[in-house]
Structure 1
Amino acid sequence: MPLNAIARAMLAHMNANPIDWASIAPQQFRAMSAGMEQPADPSDAIVQEDVDAGGVPARIYRRAEAAGPEPVLLFFHGGGYIACGISSHERLCSRLARRAECAIVSVDYRLAPEHVFPAAVDDALAALRWLGEHGGKHGLDTDRIAVGGDSAGGSLATVAAIRSRDEGGPAIRHQLLFYPGTDLTGETESERLYSDGYFLDSDFSAMCLDAYLPNPADRAHPWASPLLTPDLSGLPPATILTAECDPLRDEGRAYADRLRASGVPVRYKDYPGVFHGFVSMFGMLPDADETIADAARELQQAFAEIPA
């Protein structure tokens, strides 16, 4: 189906002043995106705590009324590995913490081009290990850890789960992935259909990948393209949520299919008529509010289940 009416109007507004991606540097885009950040909704009533997560800056979000250890989502932000951070996703993390009734630790991993692959991957694992070892000191239930993220952050979450499986933990209950990038080596049908004018343009993606993965051979590394991981068995259950009109749609679906084929429980849902990045537009785009409600419900269920 085509874009729904609200999504179409949003994209028309975004596309009214197109950016010549060939003429700007990643740092310039980083500054531009920082100028568009929106604060969290005060009604979510979230208390924050900044921490050093194994050498990686992070921020803990907890509901103001929370008492006792809470299950926790370790969250990795999107931004093409070159932009965004804790502040850009504070609104989303605060809403997820409220709706899912859990704590969230948002990770400020290093960005390219100053820090190329695998810096972000290593930061993700360092933060996960810190959470497993020290989260209890901050009111976090380290027996109930999930990992998640949007776009590039979704990819980092998958890789953190894989490396945790392979490199000694900690144990993870669930993966919550919003339109993750999982394969940087080929072109999918969704990339052909939605590579221009649907928020995540191909020229922007090329700029991000050139900055983060200056060695083209690294794009086939499983830590950059987790879909190419030889063995996906034994990973935590996953919720994978994609957007129909998104170049990354087919990568998310393919990852869901591979997880299922490897015996990993997966809930996959593709939201019709919306575009990449839509989840952050809750309060303006009803589909985003629906997606957050779905994600919160999946997290609550995962945290409530008794591990096998």
Structure 2
Amino acid sequence: MTLDPGAARVLELMAASGRPLYESLSPQEARDAYGAARRASTAEPQPMEMVEDIEAPGPRGPVAMRHYRPLGSGTEPLPLLIYLHGGGWVLGDLDSHDGLCRQFAHQARCAVVSVDYGLAPEAKFPGGVEDAIAASDWLLKQASSLRFDVSRVAIGGDSAGGTLSIATVLHNARAGRSPFSYLMLIYPVTDMSFDTPSHEEFAEGYFLTRSLQEWFHTHYLNDPVDRSDWRASPMRAENLSALPPTFVLTASHDPLRDEAERFAKKLVEAGVTVTMKRAQGQIHGFLPMETFIPAAKAVIAELARHLSYALRSEGKSS
């Protein structure tokens, strides 16, 4: 399988730009560079009925969030997607994934709340997990005032945000709660061992390099032993049967491809209903890059269709 022309163009532009590698920068310098790259690659923002910045109490202080409601939704209670952005637990914020959240709200006709969990190294593991749990708990308690339909709540995210989504669902399950009717995982991290063929095949030259992943882990984890904690590597969780119907998206030229697909298989073996799609010719992080990767638009639309169906079918998978 060859690279999608748009994905190939992104890699060419990165190589030609001469910009320093993220792992050669300080976390703040890398965040600034990541934000600039996202602004350059994301399409014009989809108009919304409402975009509101809110915050929830968290273990280390307020957790910032952004609440989106699609055009024409008025004051009706809407299904909700709680979204956790990617960026290796070190990069990303409400702005970096603003366009993607708007598209999900618009196309799935649901409310979306993007969570700006604490980033490492300021918030080391399990800081991001704790913020995600606190934010989702608060949103569910405030469902009436925020006009959410608490019976139709999905959670999801890309890359590191996918990992945080799984950990949040598992935390609730261990506490005897099942508030989520759907889980949407976009090229998630599921095992920090690097022990798959795709990690070897795409270790260099495809954006998410081995050295960049190790840089993320160094900033996020307190100690290498944290890699085996199910909150960092959900593949290690003893019981996955409590997860709701789940969509797993992978990319063919992504080092995380195999571990995400293995996780999907493990969910099926645990009795979870799973829909899986491999985006052929794509690289890690391709979804918010519609400006350079037009094929991303169709994938976003497909994710939104599945999300819409699941939320309007009370979590039944398509």
CA distance in 1 between counterparts of 2:71 and 2:13 reads: 36
1:44 equivalent to 2:47? Answer yes
Matched, 1:287 2:291: no
2:31 maps to 30
Aligned to 2:69: 62
In structure 2, what is the Cα distance between the partners aligned to 1:23 and 1:11?
A: 18
2:173 corresponds in structure 1 to 165
2: CA distance, partners of 1:49 / 1:13: 34
Task: Give the conservation status (yes or no) of the 8 Å contact 2:187–2:249.
Answer: yes
- Structure 2 length-normalised TM: 0.92
Counterpart residue number, 1:227: 235
Give the alignment's TM-score, normalised by structure 1.
0.95
Identity %: 38
The match for 2:160 among 135, 149, 152 is 152
CA RMSD of aligned residues (A): 1.6
Note the C-alpha offset of 1:141: 1.1
Unaligned runs of 5+ in 1: none
Looking at structure 2, the residues matched to 212 and 178 of structure 1 have their Cα atoms a distance apart, in angstroms, of: 20
**CA 250–306 in structure 1, closer or farther in 2 if over 3 Å, else same:** same
- Match among 89, 95, 99 for residue 87 of structure 1: 95
C-alpha displacement at 1:270, in angstroms?
Answer: 0.3
Structure 2 stretches lacking a partner, 5+ long:
none
Contact 1:40 1:90 in 2 (8 A): no
Which of the numbers 300, 304, 307 marks the counterpart of 1:299? 307
2:107 — aligned with what? 99
Task: Name the CA distance, whole Å, in 2 between partners of 1:22 and 1:301.
Answer: 40
Amino acid across the alignment from 2:7: A
Rounded Cα–Cα distance in structure 2 between residues aligned with 1:193 and 1:26: 27
- Cα distance between partner residues in 1 of 2:220 and 2:3: 31
Aligned equivalents of 2:109 and 2:230: distance in 1?
Answer: 33
- Cα 1:202–1:63 change in 2 (3 A) is same
Q: How much has 1:42 moved relative to structure 2?
A: 4.4
Is the contact made by 1:129 and 1:169 (CA closer than 8 Å) also made in structure 2?
Answer: no
Query: How many aligned positions are there?
Result: 308
The secondary structure found in structure 2 opposite 1:254 is helix
Q: Which amino acid aligns with 2:66?
A: R
The AA in structure 1 aligned to 2:11 is L
Give the Cα–Cα distance (whole angstroms) in 2 for the partners of residues 82 and 3 of structure 1.
27
Give the Cα–Cα distance (whole angstroms) in 1 for the partners of residues 253 and 269 of structure 2: 25
CA-CA distance at 1:27 after TM superposition:
2.1
In structure 2, the residue matched to 1:71 is: 79
Partner SS state of residue 87, structure 1: coil
Say if 2:45 and 2:102, in contact at 8 Å, map to a contact too.
no
Q: C-alpha separation between the residues in 1 aligned to 2:21 and 2:54? A: 37
CA shift for structure 1 position 307: 5.7
Shift of the 46–13 alpha-carbon distance from structure 1 to 2, 3 Å rule, reads farther
1:2 corresponds in structure 2 to 2
Equivalent residue number for residue 184 of structure 2: 176
Cα drift, residue 186 of structure 1: 3.5
What secondary structure does 1:176 align onto? strand
Q: Which range is displaced more, 104-113 or 167-176?
A: 167-176
Aligned counterparts of 1:4 and 1:234: Cα–Cα separation in 2? 36
Counterpart mapping for 1:222-301 below 5 A: 222-301=230-309
* CA distance in 2 between partners of 1:165 and 1:86 (Å): 27
Shift of 1:170: 5.1
